[in-house]
């Protein structure tokens, strides 16, 4: 007996070539955060042709498509659209050669995180569901979100009235292509992606001649002491069983070897998986920085500037259980458990604002044979490009098929008539 999900997926063979062409086009024409104009226009036209009620310009460049198919649950599927300021080095025929001017500097742009896979997969899932309405009932909410890489794309859509636009929704679902074998789909219950918090911290000293340190409060030494002391936060204030990362990624101070400057700027990044740990680490950073400034005799309080804040992604257990069952039926042994990820993204801002449960999963994008060879040699980290690498290039198939099938299978866990 053919299931409702199989009925929807029956059209994938006829759609495959079109989706592959769409993917190559998107990959060759990437757009940075909040500038996804061509991508937004393209998906809006596709949704309109499929009979969706289409809303554009949500949160700047976001697109929302609503396909109402009788009484039933409302399921939200989300894809992010933006690319990164990275020069592509994949050597592909459809490699990006796009550059944009940023502050007068020509900057290369690349889909180094795989958002072109996400857009193509959601277009494919929307197309198949629109073409097999006899197999499901309810409302499909397709969201093409801008500016995930900036960490504020979901919030801008929410602030622009997303909740009023889409109405009541029952569940939100999203996926990401990752550096494991293509053809596989993996998810997990509970924490899956970390929260991310970046801080720009300015500490103040007193400038002087390099030969007269007694007349100075040296901000370089102050910054160095802060860096050393911050290394004890995770190792001494967080339980060994609780994952957390604290990185000082940048220090800027001084202008010349014989000049003691008057300030230093540190940029700190924190990754945590729950709000208690997040609050503990951020509070410890402030406490340590303030104390070191006081100990050094700094004459001005330090300044803390938060930026690039991403929420944690914590999968709802009940929603995840239902999706895991759907994946088992659709993918068999190619469905598995996703490892806890230290990366971050802003998808969860959407279901949080809509007050609905959600789950988020990964699909593989690496050629299986290439991955097996690297794994056998113990060189996965060295030989397999990860997201944000200039060499990251998911194999087109079976990656796209997997992305489309995963979205359809997950959505049909709520929408299927059977």
- 8 Å CB contact between 112 and 88: yes
Distance of CA 116 to the CA centre of its chain: 13
| Distance separating alpha carbons of residues 61 and 152, to the nearest angstrom | 12
| Distance separating alpha carbons of residues 114 and 2, to the nearest angstrom | 32
Angle, helices 37-49 vs 115-131, to 10°: value is 10
Q: Which residues pair with 314 in a beta bridge?
A: 191
Largest CA distance in the chain: 86
275 annotated to a ligand binding site: no
Fill in the DSSP letter of residue 195.
E
176 annotated to a ligand binding site: yes
Query: Of how many residues is the chain composed?
Result: 418
Helix ranges (H only) for 62-218 are 115-131, 153-159, 162-166
| Distance separating alpha carbons of residues 377 and 269, to the nearest angstrom | 32
Neighbours of 83 (CB within 10 A): 27
| Distance separating alpha carbons of residues 189 and 56, to the nearest angstrom | 33
Q: Which residues neighbour 215 within 8 Å (Cβ) at sequence distance 6 or greater?
A: 206, 208, 209
55 annotated to a ligand binding site: no
| Distance separating alpha carbons of residues 235 and 276, to the nearest angstrom | 16
- 8 Å CB contact between 153 and 93: no
115 annotated to a ligand binding site: yes
Q: Which residues neighbour 336 within 8 Å (Cβ) at sequence distance 6 or greater?
A: 184, 185, 186
For residue 166, give the nearest of 410, 349, 354, 352 by alpha carbon: 354
Cα angle vertex 184, ends 145, 196, to 5°? 45
Question: Is 203 buried (19+), middle (13-18) or exposed (0-12) by CB count in 10 A?
Answer: buried
- 8 Å CB contact between 125 and 407: yes
60 φ/ψ sector (left φ>0, alpha ψ -120 to 50, else beta): left
What tokens appear for 158 in the block? 């929410």
Which residue ranges make up the annotated binding site for Mn(2+)? Answer: 113, 115, 149, 176
Q: Which residues are annotated as a binding site?
A: 113, 115, 149, 176
């Amino acid at each position: 007996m053919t299931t409702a999900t199989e009925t929807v997926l029956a059209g994938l063979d006829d759609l495959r070539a079109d989706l592959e062409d769409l993917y190559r086009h998107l990959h060759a024409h990437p757009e940075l955060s909040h500038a996804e104009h061509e991508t937004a226009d393209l998906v809006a036209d596709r949704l309109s042709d499929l009979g969706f009620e289409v809303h554009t310009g949500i949160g700047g460049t976001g697109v929302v498509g609503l396909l109402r198919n009788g009484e039933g649950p409302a399921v939200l599927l989300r894809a992010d659209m933006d690319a990164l300021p990275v020069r592509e080095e994949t050597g592909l025929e459809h490699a990006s050669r796009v550059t944009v001017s940023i502050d007068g500097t020509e900057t290369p742009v690349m889909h180094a995180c795989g958002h072109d896979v996400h857009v193509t997969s959601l277009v494919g899932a929307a197309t198949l569901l629109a073409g097999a309405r006899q197999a499901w009932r309810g409302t499909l909410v397709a969201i093409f979100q801008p500016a995930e890489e900036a960490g504020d794309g979901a919030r801008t859509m929410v602030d622009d009235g997303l909740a009023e636009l889409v109405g009541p929704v029952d569940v939100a679902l999203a996926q990401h292509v990752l550096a494991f074998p293509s053809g596989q789909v993996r998810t997990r219950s509970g924490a899956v992606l970390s929260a991310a918090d970046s801080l720009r911290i300015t500490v103040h000293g007193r400038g002087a001649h390099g030969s007269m340190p007694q007349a100075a409060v040296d901000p370089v030494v102050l910054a160095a002491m802060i860096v050393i002391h911050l290394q004890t936060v995770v190792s001494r204030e967080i339980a060994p069983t609780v994952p957390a990362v604290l990185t000082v990624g940048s220090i800027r101070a001084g202008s010349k070897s014989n000049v003691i400057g008057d300030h230093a700027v540190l940029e700190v990044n924190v990754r945590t998986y729950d709000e208690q740990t997040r609050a503990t680490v951020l509070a410890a950073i402030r406490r340590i920085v303030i104390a070191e400034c006081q100990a050094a005799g700094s004459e001005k309080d330090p300044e803390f500037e938060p930026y690039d804040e991403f929420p944690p992604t914590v999968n709802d257990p009940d929603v995840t259980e239902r999706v895991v069952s759907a994946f088992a039926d659709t993918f068999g042994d190619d469905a598995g458990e996703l490892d806890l990820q230290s990366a971050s993204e802003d998808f969860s801002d959407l279901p949080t604002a809509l007050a609905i449960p959600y789950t988020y999963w990964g699909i593989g994008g690496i050629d299986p044979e290439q991955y097996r060879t690297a794994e056998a040699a113990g060189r996965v980290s060295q030989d397999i490009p990860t997201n944000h690498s200039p060499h990251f290039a998911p194999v087109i198939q079976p990656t796209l098929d997997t992305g489309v099938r995963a979205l359809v299978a997950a959505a049909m866990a709520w929408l299927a008539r059977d």
